[in-house]
């Protein structure tokens, strides 16, 4: 696939994968993107996942059309992008790997050699001339691993962004970019907001007409929209005013409370209200909703004098991703000794800038007049 006159796409779509990184369900598969810049010198940017190395090498050979590549630029060493390194180096014995020193340490760990005689070590600001294409490398540590380098092609005004600006789903997937890009971002680099902010400061200084990530579609239009979302996500700024109600229910009473609260909020004109059943929906879906909205209500039964496992896992994932800058409220249920509210609050107490709602809800087994009143009071507070 031709991206520009000199740049080709040689990535692959993986439609067989069920769990990305062993944990994220990917209903519409995943893409592992790779690019070739054809100039006086030829550079290949990243390889692909292990199951697709043959397909990738075939695509590369077709693009090369008898020429030989000079460089394999390794922007990111995670195996979904690096599994083809050894096969590439065997196939093209004159080629040189271009990457950061931390990446070469990983190359040695993965492949048993760091290609000391066939490597070019780059760091922030290093450049590589291919002829007409002058590449400049931009350090992006922890976006998503410590070795990551991005590549800016000034002649084409393209930023190759490694994992950043990627999404779940194949390139061919017919779906909206935002939901799966948000779930991908929050899940994979949500913890590293500071590092993403550092990257964005460097990126805004560049003239960028196209973003070429290692997953998902190439972004060519309205780039400010994507950068603005990354600004929000990485600064933990709510994307939308609204309420996410996440619940863990066993016999349905806590679910009933969650749905009642949602209705009370809608009745009060709350613009966006979503409910998430933590026992049925994947936790990554719940996490992305929690990060999207400005307010979060956690509703859980008490279980073994603590939290129901689905709620425990959900809050753990929020905390791991530096959940902050939100209003949080609690709905607890317990047939004889409700303690879930306290347990949930304790898990969140080290998160930055969390405003805990004044009103909480305690249900003893089933909703009654008292707990319905508490739900109404909480809705009143959250709808303000
Ligand atoms: Fe797509 Fe961090 O690898």
Atom of ligand 1 nearest to the CA of 144: 2
Ligand 1 proximal residues by C-beta, below 6 Å: 76, 78, 80-81, 144-145, 163, 214-215
pLDDT at 384: 84
Q: Determine the atom of ligand 1 nearest the C-alpha atom of 32.
A: 1
CA of 237 to the centre of ligand 1 (A): 24
268 pLDDT exceeds 90?
Answer: yes
Asked if residue 68 has pLDDT above 90, the reply is yes
Burial class (CB in 10 A: 0-12, 13-18, 19+), 324: middle
For ligand 1, the distance from its centroid to the CA atom of residue 19, given in whole angstroms, is 13
| Mean per-residue pLDDT, 29-58 | 98
Which atom of ligand 1 has the smallest separation from the CA of 78? Answer: 3
User: What is the model's pLDDT at position 102?
Assistant: 98
pLDDT of residue 231: 98
pLDDT tier at 89 (50, 70, 90 boundaries)? very high
| Distance from the alpha carbon of residue 222 to the mean position of ligand 1, in angstroms | 24
pLDDT at 314: 98
Alpha carbons 50 and 81: distance in angstroms, whole number: 9
Asked if 261 and 297 touch (Cβ cutoff 8 Å), the reply is yes
The CA distance from 274 to 286, in Å, is 10
Share of the chain above pLDDT 70, in %: 100
pTM across the whole model: 0.96
- State both tokens at 296: 């979060």
What is the residue with the minimal CA distance to atom 3 of ligand 1?
78
pLDDT in tens, 313-359: 999 999 999 999 999 999 999 999 999 999 999 999 999 999 999 99
Predicted local distance difference test score (pLDDT) of residue 168 = 98
d(CA 333, CA 338): 6
Residue with CA at minimum distance from ligand 1 atom 1: 163
CA of 371 to the centre of ligand 1 (A): 46
> What's the chain's average pLDDT?
97
pLDDT for residue 77 is more than 90: yes
Residue 297 predicted with pLDDT over 90: yes
Q: How far apart are CA 255 and CA 235, in angstroms?
A: 32
| Å from CA of 4 to ligand 1 middle | 24
Q: Which two structure tokens, joined as six digits, stand for 299?
A: 């509703």
Per residue in 162-205, pLDDT (tens digit) is 999 999 999 999 999 999 999 999 999 999 999 999 999 999 99
Ligand 1 centroid from CA 22, angstroms: 12
Closest CA to 365 of 283, 219, 253, 204: 253
């Amino acid at each position: 696939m031709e991206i520009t006159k000199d740049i080709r796409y040689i990535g692959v779509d993986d439609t067989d994968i069920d769990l990305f990184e062993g944990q994220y369900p990917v209903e519409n598969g995943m893409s592992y993107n790779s690019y070739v810049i054809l100039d006086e010198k030829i550079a290949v940017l990243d390889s692909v996942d292990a199951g697709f190395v043959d397909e990738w090498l075939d695509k590369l050979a077709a693009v090369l059309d008898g020429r030989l590549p000079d460089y394999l630029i390794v922007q990111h060493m995670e195996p979904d992008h690096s599994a083809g390194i050894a096969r590439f180096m065997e196939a093209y014995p004159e080629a040189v790997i271009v990457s950061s020193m931390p990446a070469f340490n990983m190359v040695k760990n993965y492949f048993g050699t760091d290609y000391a005689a066939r490597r070019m070590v780059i760091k922030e600001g290093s450049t590589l001339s291919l002829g007409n294409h002058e590449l400049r490398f931009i350090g992006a540590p922890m976006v998503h691993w410590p070795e990551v380098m991005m590549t800016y092609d000034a002649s084409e005004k393209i930023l190759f962004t490694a994992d950043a600006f990627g999404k779940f789903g194949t390139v061919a997937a017919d779906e909206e970019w935002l939901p799966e890009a948000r779930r991908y971002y929050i899940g994979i680099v949500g913890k590293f907001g500071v590092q993403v902010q550092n990257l964005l400061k460097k990126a805004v200084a560049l003239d960028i007409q196209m973003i070429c990530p290692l997953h998902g579609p190439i972004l060519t239009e309205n780039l400010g929209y994507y950068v603005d979302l990354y600004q929000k996500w990485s600064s933990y700024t709510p994307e939308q005013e609204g309420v996410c109600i996440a619940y863990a229910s066993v016999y349905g009473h806590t679910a009933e409370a969650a749905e009642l609260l949602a209705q009370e909020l809608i009745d009060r004109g709350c613009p966006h209200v979503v409910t998430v059943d933590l026992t049925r929906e994947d936790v990554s879906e719940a996490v992305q909703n929690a990060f999207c909205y400005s307010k979060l209500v956690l509703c859980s039964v008490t279980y073994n004098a603590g939290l129901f496992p689905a709620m425990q896992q959900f809050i753990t994932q929020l905390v791991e991703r530096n959940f902050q800058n939100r209003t949080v409220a609690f709905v607890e249920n317990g047939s004889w000794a409700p303690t879930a509210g306290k347990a949930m609050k304790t898990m969140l107490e080290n998160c930055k800038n969390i405003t805990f709602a004044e009103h909480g809800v305690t249900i003893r087994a089933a909703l009654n007049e008292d707990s319905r009143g508490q739900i109404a009071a909480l809705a009143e507070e959250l709808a303000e």
